[in-house]
A and B are shown apart, each in its own frame.
Chain A
Amino acid sequence: MDSSATDGARLPPPRAGSRLCVRCGERKAALKRPKTLEQICRECFYIIFEDEIHQTIVQNSLFKAGERVAIGASGGKDSTVLAYVLSELNRQHNYGLDLFLLSVDEGITGYRDDSLETVKRNEIQYGLPLKIVSYKDLYGWTMDDIVKAIGLKNNCTFCGVFRRQALDRGAALLKADKIVTGHNADDIAETVLLNILRGDIARLSRCTFITTGEDGPIPRCKPFKYTYEKEIVMYAYFKKLDYFSTECIYSPNAYRGFAREFIKDLERMRPRAILDIIKSGENFRISTTTRMPEQGTCERCGYISSQKLCKACVLLDGLNRGLPKLGIGSTKAGARADSDGKQRTKRSERNTSSLQGKHGNFDF
């Protein structure tokens, strides 16, 4: 009966929930898994979803018993589901982890205020201690202030550099051994694509790593590396998890938006495309001649840096001296935002700095 339904041009479409779960054969199917196209019921979905993440954690040895793990929590769907699932798995499988929620308050009125409220509810709902670090406290500037000073054009450079450092600093305050983030399979596929489009080979191979920054102060890992966004949102919906969903008002990143749209179009035609793109990203291996820059520390704030001053300190210098463009033009990220003419004159500079861009726009 079921096989005829797949080509069922003639048959009336089956009513909602009239098919049985292919796993248990008992309950009505509630969703079609993008990864496998299996039709499964809610209960089986919970089990498979959680178990796949558990397997990812175990197979990649993401954690050791006794570690303190900071969950980068934005109040959005991915980090909310991550906090929930990780605390469940920690209990069920006795990982022996001390879990914390770590949020960054960029100081964006009407956006971050609301999402922080969500994180504060999560703190109570999941019983995880919450630490909030703010741009205002760390840098003396809120994102609102920064946008007022520099306009909307390059603000994501600040946001990216500052957020990455803020998470590290917050994690250090928590004495965390690791940071976990909610980046999912769709996000990683999108980043692979963007790095190909930019010819950024260093980031291309690195962005698929499940753990990064092992040479830095605190390693970061992505337990959702193989988890589809569709399933994360379905999980949150069925479990009625409380998350916040409004785009950052300062991040009209059109280029990334197109990449995302393209990934979603591909997924509709062939859901496996997402995993395949991650796989291709993994298969690009950086050649040994491409050396990563040597790590030192920032003279001013002590953060890891390959230059005398870290990127955040350079940007802050500019802001504080009323020259907010300072430090933007000399990175790849900033050069892209500049006009074509300016870019050409900076080519030589860009070539030397392209591999040092560890303070990227994105958290990879």
Chain B
Amino acid sequence: MHLTLEFGGGLELLLENSTKVHKVEVTTPKDGQGKVTMKFLLSWVKENLIKERPEMFLKADSVRPGVLVLINDCDWELCGGLDAELEEKDVVVFISTLHGG
């Protein structure tokens, strides 16, 4: 599945070369009927993109409180949060609110 992932508000600093936009191909998980949920995506991001200080991005199995998530420019709290199912070509944006006022 092709997804566009965007990191902002300082989260980009945790990634290689501080790149903000990542066009990625996520292999669909074998379990869970091959659906890519946000929960799956978060662990995928941790494994494949985060280079340092993952605790700035994740806490337990979700994003760290204070990190905003938008799926196709819609607050993920309206889309099912961790259970939200992603589709081909979705754009997921992560923004930290925790850096500098």
Chain A CB within 8 A of B79 CB: yes
Give the contacts of B49-101 with A (CB-CB under 8 A): 64-66, 68, 70-81, 83-85, 87, 90, 93, 95-101
Question: Which of B70, B84, B96, B100 sits near A74, CB closer than 8 Å?
Answer: B100
- Which residues of B does A touch, CB under 8 Å? 8-10, 13, 64-66, 68, 70-81, 83-85, 87, 90, 93, 95-101
Q: How far is the CA of A14 from the CA of B76 in the complex (A)?
A: 10
Cβ-defined contact, A245 with B80, below 8 A: no
Cβ-defined contact, A248 with B100, below 8 A: yes
Cβ-defined contact, B78 with A39, below 8 A: yes
Among A90-98, A264-272, A326-334, which stretch is in contact with chain B? A264-272
A-B CB proximity, top 8 nearest: A13-B80, A264-B65, A31-B75, A78-B101, A16-B74, A76-B100, A245-B99, A264-B66
Main secondary structure, interface of A, reads mixed
Chain A interface residue count, Cβ-Cβ cutoff 8 angstroms: 42
Kindly count the residue-residue contacts between A and B in the assembled complex, taking CB atoms under 8 Å apart. Answer: 105
A267 with B74, Cβ < 8 A, contacts A77-B9, A233-B97 known: no
Min CB distance A37 to B, Å, is: 9
Q: How far is the CA of A273 from the CA of B78 in the complex (A)?
A: 20
Q: How far is the CA of A246 from the CA of B101 in the complex (A)?
A: 9
Residues of A within 8 Å of B85, CB to CB, are 12-13, 15
Give the contacts of A180-225 with B (CB-CB under 8 A): 182-184, 186-187
Cβ-defined contact, B101 with A17, below 8 A: no
Min CB distance B21 to A, Å, is: 14
Cβ-defined contact, B101 with A74, below 8 A: yes
* 9 intermolecular pairs with C-beta atoms under 8 Å apart: A13-B83, A16-B78, A19-B78, A30-B75, A31-B74, A74-B101, A184-B101, A245-B9, A245-B100
Cβ-defined contact, A28 with B74, below 8 A: yes
Chain B CB within 8 A of A261 CB: yes
Q: How far is the CA of A12 from the CA of B68 in the complex (A)?
A: 22
Cβ-defined contact, B99 with A234, below 8 A: no
Cβ-defined contact, A14 with B79, below 8 A: yes
Residues of A within 8 Å of B95, CB to CB, are 233, 237
Residues of A within 8 Å of B13, CB to CB, are 246
Cβ-defined contact, A17 with B74, below 8 A: yes
Give the contacts of A16-33 with B (CB-CB under 8 A): 16-17, 19, 28-32
Least CB separation from B73: chain A residue: A30
Least CB separation from A72: chain B residue: B101
Q: How far is the CA of A74 from the CA of B96 in the complex (A)?
A: 17
Cβ-defined contact, B84 with A16, below 8 A: yes
A17 with B97, Cβ < 8 A, contacts A12-B85, A32-B77, A261-B65 known: no
Beyond the given pairs A31-B75, A237-B93, 8 more chain A to chain B contacts, judged by CB atoms under 8 angstroms and listed by A's residue number, are A29-B78, A31-B74, A32-B75, A74-B100, A76-B101, A78-B101, A237-B8, A264-B65
Cβ-defined contact, B97 with A229, below 8 A: yes
Residues of B within 8 Å of A13, CB to CB, are 79-81, 83-85
Min CB distance B7 to A, Å, is: 11
Cβ-defined contact, B101 with A247, below 8 A: no
A245 with B84, Cβ < 8 A, contacts A14-B79, A183-B101 known: no
Counting chain B CB atoms within 10 Å of each CB, which of A77, A79, A229, A247 scores highest?
A77
Residues of A within 8 Å of B100, CB to CB, are 74, 76-77, 115, 244-248
Chain B CB within 8 A of A260 CB: yes
Q: How far is the CA of A247 from the CA of B56 in the complex (A)?
A: 12
Cβ-defined contact, B99 with A246, below 8 A: yes
Give the contacts of A218-265 with B (CB-CB under 8 A): 229-230, 232-234, 237-238, 244-248, 260-261, 264-265
Residues of A within 8 Å of B8, CB to CB, are 237, 245
Least CB separation from B92: chain A residue: A16
Cβ-defined contact, B97 with A230, below 8 A: yes
Residues of B within 8 Å of A115, CB to CB, are 100
Give the contacts of A283-314 with B (CB-CB under 8 A): none
Chain A 112-127 per-residue mask, 1 if CB under 8 angstroms from chain B, else 0 = 0001000000000000
Residues of A within 8 Å of B99, CB to CB, are 76, 245-247
